[in-house]
Amino acid sequence: MGGYLQVSTDVGEVIGGRSGEDENALPLNPKIITAHLTTLKPVRDGTPIIAIDVSSVKIGETERGILCAIRGAIVWNERGKYGYLRVGPFPFHITEENKREMVELARFHHPSMAASLLRLADVQDRLSKLMERWLQMSICCSSYGSIILWDGSLTAGTPDTPVSLLTRLLEIARRNGNSILAFSKVTNVRLLGRRITDLIWKYPPPCVLRLDDLTTLMKGQIRVMGNVYVVKLCRGGLPFRLDVDGGIPHSQGVLAIERILGNEILYQGYPETLRLAHILSTFTASEVIGIQRFIAERYNLKVIVRPSVRRMLFGPFGTRFED
């Protein structure tokens, strides 16, 4: 690998505002909400809690393609003692010539996706998802009687997550006595025009709201492989969408949530293990600079600053993030 490593200095942000309430939304009957609402009680029994998260970052560009790095983190909490394992970072040089080989590596995630149709950034996302599924499979196979936390949802049928793969992961976890729960920090799912996370704002925590028949909101091949809840776990905390493995009974799913309450630290209503997994997998600016320097010295690359076309053309108005 030779040539130049281009580093962008454009750090413009896309600033988005929160959309307002839909004035035409139908009112929700509080009695319906209350009927599906369950008050939670902490269960302090020392159940191990394990969280997994993976992140990737673009390091720069070369004459042939892009450089990226991928890192995963596993954090566990056993009787109040936290430990972690970082996997990576792994640097990748993705080019038009080798992207087909990389897509083949992750072909079980998107068997119908032709490599020629993928952008190089899409290949980076596929590699990141491949590593995440590998870590999830490793934990599902090696853990017993634990609560396993994922970032995101238990939605399958997408190019990244075929139904067969997620079904296998859930089956292995259940066979080892594990419960998989997936927290979504942001959700666009709405009920009668309102975000599902807005439904329990006024109810005292800790509580959980079960949403039945959510699969009717999914289109095409998309499937929800879990029971979908909205949870608010502590006073002053935020409500989150929570997917619980649909292969376990509702009562067992609620018990798993109560075990999180009793055995886990909650920051803003979010489990500490999953929060730490995100922090430990995310790349800081100094780490990106260090990886850039290592690659430049290891492969004799010259680091140059790529000018921002938007900044040059539009000055302070060129604030859109530039890949």
Q: In the prediction, which pLDDT does 55 show?
A: 95
Instruction: State the number of CA atoms in the 13 A half-sphere of 96 facing the CB.
Output: 5
pLDDT one-digit tens code per residue, 43-96: 999 899 999 999 999 998 888 888 899 999 999 999 889 999 999 899 998 888
Distance, CA of 267 to CA of 227 (rounded, Å): 24
Task: Decide if pLDDT at 9 tops 80.
Answer: no
Residues in a beta bridge with 83: 76
Q: What is the pTM of this model?
A: 0.80
- Cβ proximity of 5 and 306 under 8 Å: no
Distance, CA of 41 to CA of 259 (rounded, Å): 9
Give the orientation angle of helix 120-142 with respect to helix 163-175, to 10 degrees: 20
Task: Decide if pLDDT at 127 tops 90.
Answer: no
Q: In the prediction, which pLDDT does 117 show?
A: 54
Considering only CA atoms, which of 100, 90, 89, 96 is closest in space to residue 63? 96
Task: Decide if pLDDT at 25 tops 70.
Answer: no
Please tell me the chain's helix, strand, coil percentages from 3-state DSSP, rounded to the nearest 5.
35, 30, 35
Q: In the prediction, which pLDDT does 31 show?
A: 53
Tokens 């040089």 -> residue: 93
Amino acid at 281: S
CA 304 to chain centre: 33
Domain 4-8+41-317: CATH architecture, name and number where available: 2-Layer Sandwich (3.30)
pLDDT-based confidence at residue 161 (cuts at 50, 70, 90): confident
pLDDT one-digit tens code per residue, 83-114: 999 998 999 988 888 877 777 766 554 444 55
Q: In the prediction, which pLDDT does 259 show?
A: 94
Give the pLDDT mean for 6-23: 38
pLDDT-based confidence at residue 15 (cuts at 50, 70, 90): very low
- Cβ proximity of 319 and 13 under 8 Å: yes
Considering only CA atoms, which of 224, 230, 228 is closest in space to residue 197? 230
* Cβ within 8 Å of residue 170, ≥6 positions away: 154, 180, 225, 245, 246, 247
Considering only CA atoms, which of 44, 41, 45, 43 is closest in space to residue 207? 41
DSSP labels, 36-105: TEEE-----S---EEEEEEEEEEEEE-SSEEEEEEEEEEEEEETTEEEEEEEEEEEEEEETTTHHHHHHH
